Structures are given as structure tokens and as C-alpha cells.
Amino acid sequence: MLNTEYDKEYVFDIDAYLIENYPTMNQVTRRSICSLSINDWIDDSAVEEYVDECVSDYAKTKLELNKKEEEEDDD
């Protein structure tokens, strides 16, 4: 039976993070930071690379899968 109940979405609340870690920051500044973060700084390809690294680590440590390395010629 396929388990369809698992976390498959990552949500990061930038505003909540800013409120918790920068308590004196006002809402106008938080809005600007949120906008800059989403539009200019967060790169989907960087997140995809991180997920690929997780896949690689999982494959190596949990599944004991390793990429087949080409045999070197000793001629």
C-alpha cells in the first residue's frame, strides 16, 4: 500500500522569521525584506540543487547506492 501521508512541501515564513529574530524591525521594512528575498535572492535552482544533494546523500547512506565509476585504463 502506498503511503500518501507525508510532508512534501517546504514552507518558510520570512515575515515570522523576521519578527522572531529582528523584533525591532517595523512592518514596512519586513515587507521590503520579504519582497527582496522572494524576488531577488531566493533562487529556485539553488533549492533544487539542495534537494539533489539530499537525494545523493540519502542514496549513499540509506540505500547504499553509489554512482558507478568508470574503470581507469592502466595502460
Q: State the pLDDT confidence band at 60, using cuts at 50, 70 and 90.
A: confident
Q: Where are the domains of the chain?
A: 14-61
In this predicted structure, what is the pLDDT of residue 54?
A: 92
Instruction: Report the 10 Å Cβ neighbour count for 54.
Output: 10
The residue among 25 and 58 whose pLDDT is bigger is 25
Q: Quote the CA–CA distance of 63 and 28 in Å, as a whole number.
A: 48
Q: What is the pLDDT of residue 16?
A: 97
Rank 35-39, 43-47, 62-66 by mean pLDDT and report only the highest. Answer: 35-39
Joined together, the cell numbers standing for residue 51 give: 534537494
11, 35 contact by CB (below 8 A): no
If you average pLDDT over every residue of the chain, what do you get? 86
